[in-house]
Amino acid sequence: MEEIQGHIYDYPKYYDLVYGSDWKAEYEFLLKVIDRYSKRTVKSLFEPACGTGRLMIKFAQSGFRVAGNDLNANAIDFCNDRLERHGYPRSAFVGDMSDFKLPKRADLAFNMINSFRHLPTEKSAESHFKCIANALNKDGLYVLGLHLTPLIGDRVEKESWPARRGNLAVISSLWSESIDIKNRNEKVGMSFDIYTPTKSYRIVDEMDYRIYTAKQMIKLLERVNLFQLEVAFDFVYDVDEPICIDDSVEDVVLILRKK
Ligand SMILES: C[S@@+](CC[C@H](N)C(=O)[O-])C[C@H]1O[C@@H](n2cnc3c(N)ncnc32)[C@H](O)[C@@H]1O
């Protein structure tokens, strides 16, 4: 199969086919979190690093006002085109999740699948929390999902999953290439195998993710001191099954309340 080096996020059509099919569990989980944990009525949502807006479109269709930002202009165009096609404003904008200001505050922000770990430094992570706190109304919730680096037990090192729509099939793979604990960096390989009736090829990418142990994450939240950790779940997204954050935990969804 022909292989090209490329940036996976530059291919929103393929990204959305793979990840877009996964929207339901996260969407239903977020609705339950709102129902159970929000002290305020939630009418508006903000998604930092929204990518193609696979969740934004579902929430827009349920009557929420949605907005998002992302560094990748291709993803933002894709997201806005879809919102517009369905009759909603082009409310996603190109921007850095560690340096932005919203014209209108939201009632809840969500960031479900590790995008936060793209922020390369402690300073940018702190700045991200400041921007999110600023973007939220009083008591607003921030739902933050990421993989921590467990110090006990095994890590999931490779995942692969297929997706298909009409004549297009994409097999996505994600694997951990190396971990540098000292410099808090994980190199993650990612590929899309693309199959169309006329061609098939593979796009291969390598991305940097910042590492957080459970303690490092908790410390960061304490230092920033803008959010209260209300409760945590894992990627099973079951609101009836909160988890304890300890050194064995890997996937975690933090429910943070603006102080
Ligand atoms: C794993 S994707 C998640 C996209 C979307 N949140 C979702 O759930 O499908 C990560 C996204 O983070 C974006 N990203 C990385 N660094 C960013 C930054 N500093 N500010 C905004 N977006 C960023 C990438 O462009 C990419 O679209």
The amino acid sitting at 98 is S
Same domain? For 228 and 200 the reply is no
Considering the domain architecture, whether residues 192 and 74 belong to the same structural domain is answered as no
Mind listing the pLDDT tens digit for each residue in 53-93? 999 999 999 999 999 999 999 999 999 999 999 999 999 99
23-26, Cβ contacts within 8 angstroms, sequence gap of 24 or more: 23/54, 23/55, 23/58, 25/237, 26/55, 26/112, 26/237
Together in a domain, 59 and 101: yes
User: Measured at the alpha carbon of residue 144, what is the angle toward residues 106 and 218, in degrees to the nearest 5?
Assistant: 120
pLDDT category of residue 156 using cuts at 50, 70 and 90: low
| Beta carbon of 19 within 6 Å of any ligand 1 atom | yes
Q: Say whether both 143 and 54 belong to one domain.
A: yes
Q: What is the pLDDT of residues 183-200, one digit of tens each?
A: 999 999 999 999 999 999
User: Quick check: 1 pLDDT over 90?
Assistant: no
117 lines ligand 1 (CB under 6 A): no
**Is residue 1 a part of any domain in this protein?**
no
Residue 154 has pLDDT above 80, yes or no: no
Q: Which among 210, 226, 245 is the end of a domain?
A: 210
Supply the residue whose CA is at minimum distance from atom 10 of ligand 1. Answer: 115
71: Cβ below 6 Å to ligand 1? yes
Per cent of the chain over pLDDT 70 is 98
Name the residue of 29, 118, 123 to mutate for ligand 1: max ligand atoms within 8 A of Cβ: 118
Shared-domain flag, residues 59 and 157: no
CA-nearest residue for atom 6, ligand 1, is: 50
| Closest-lying ligand 1 atom to the alpha carbon of residue 75 | 27
- Give the count of beta carbons closer than 10 Å to the beta carbon of residue 89: 12
Q: How far is residue 135 CA from its own chain's centroid?
A: 17
Residues 87 and 52 in one domain: yes
202: Cα separation from own chain's centroid: 24
CB 58 within 8 A of CB 88: no
Q: What is the mean pLDDT of residues 134-138?
A: 98
Q: What is the mean predicted confidence (pLDDT) over 26-40?
A: 98
In a domain, 4, yes or no: no
Q: What integer pLDDT is reported at residue 159 of this predicted model? A: 86
Question: Which atom of ligand 1 lies at the shortest distance from residue 20's CA?
Answer: 9
Burial class (CB in 10 A: 0-12, 13-18, 19+), 115: buried
**Is residue 195 one of the residues assigned to a domain?**
yes
Cα separation, 156 vs 192, whole angstroms: 19
For the cut 70, the answer to whether the pLDDT of residue 153 exceeds it is no
pLDDT for residue 155 is more than 80: no
Tell me: do 46 and 96 sit in the same domain.
yes
Domain membership of residue 2 (yes or no) is no
In the predicted model, what is the mean pLDDT of residues 139-148?
98
> Is residue 70 lining ligand 1, measured as CB closer than 6 Å?
yes
Amino acid at 9: Y
Distance, CA of 215 to CA of 236 (rounded, Å)? 22
The answer to whether residues 4 and 204 touch, using CB atoms and an 8 Å cutoff, is yes
